[in-house]
Structure 1
Amino acid sequence: MKILKAISILVVLSGISCLTFAADSPKYLADRHAAKQVPCEACHGKGTPNGQIQMDNCLKCHGGTYEKLAAQTDGGDINYHDTHMGQINCIECHQGHKPSRLVCDQCHEFKAKVP
């Protein structure tokens, strides 16, 4: 009986810790940025955010140039930053305040996870 009680307590505690972890996990890219203390202005620029993100704002932290970013993400089977489509604006795939999506999947079926 003591073993059953101990197992029950462990199950409940592990369930609580999983829920706590899930609640603390950033949901969207903007949440990840906020968790790292990146201010809204870093992406949106100065003034009131209007939803428009310039690729140059992304590249200030991620690579410096699109070519350098492509070089940094090279090495896997597919480099999503070096495609037959050329330079694709970051926000085509990386959505800040909604789920990100791989624009390549409009024609292909890569099913890669996009941060």
Structure 2
Amino acid sequence: MKKTASLLVVLAALFTMSSTFSAEAPKFGADRHVAHGMACASCHGPDGKSPEYPDQETCLKCHQKDALIEKTKAIGPVNPHKAPHNGECTLCHLQHEAPVNYCAECHPQFKFNPN
């Protein structure tokens, strides 16, 4: 447990430092989570040596689906959080990489900004 806590402190420090070295560096979702006081274990589980890959259920523990649908209702032509085959948050919101407009892979007219 002590090693895991130490690892989480080091990872949080690295995320914080990486965002302060360059004002032009993109803010990834993981950076935003750390800025709000979340530890890596919140999404990746307690085992720092073998972290879990978060899925939609992980995200929905904090981000309520109905609230996301309401917040993004003006995005069009289709609300990406209410799309018929929406279901996995990490398809667009990668957290440790720049977000991706996954919808545009099949629907190039959907110009969503997944930030």
The two structures have a TM-score, normalised by structure 1, of 0.65
Aligned mates of 1:51, 1:76 — CA distance in 2 = 31
Kindly tell me the number of residue pairs found equivalent between the two proteins. 93
**Larger CA Rg, structure 1 vs 2:** 1
**Once the two structures are aligned, what percentage of the paired residues are identical?**
34
Q: How does 1:5-44 map to 2 (within 5 A)?
A: 23=23, 27-44=27-44
Aligned mates of 1:89, 1:33 — CA distance in 2 = 18
Matched, 1:57 2:58: yes
The two structures have a TM-score, normalised by structure 2, of 0.65
Equivalent residue number for residue 47 of structure 2: 47
Structure 2 counterpart of 1:90, one-letter code = C
**Superimposed CA distance per residue, residues 26-52 of structure 1 (whole angstroms, 9 cap, x where no aligned partner):** 521111111111111121122125351
Helix, strand or coil at the partner of 2:23: helix
Residues 28 and 98, structure 2, Cα contact 8 Å, conserved in 1: yes
Aligned mates of 2:26, 2:39 — CA distance in 1 = 15
Aligned mates of 1:62, 1:26 — CA distance in 2 = 22
In the superposition, relative to structure 1, how do residues 25 and 76 fare at CA in structure 2: closer, same or farther (>3 Å)? Answer: same
Higher share in helix: 1
Matched, 1:104 2:103: yes
1:68 deviation in Å? 5.1
Structure 2 counterpart of 1:113, one-letter code = N
Aligned mates of 1:43, 1:26 — CA distance in 2 = 20
Matched, 1:69 2:68: yes
Give the superposed CA RMSD.
2.5
Structure 2 counterpart of 1:62, one-letter code = H
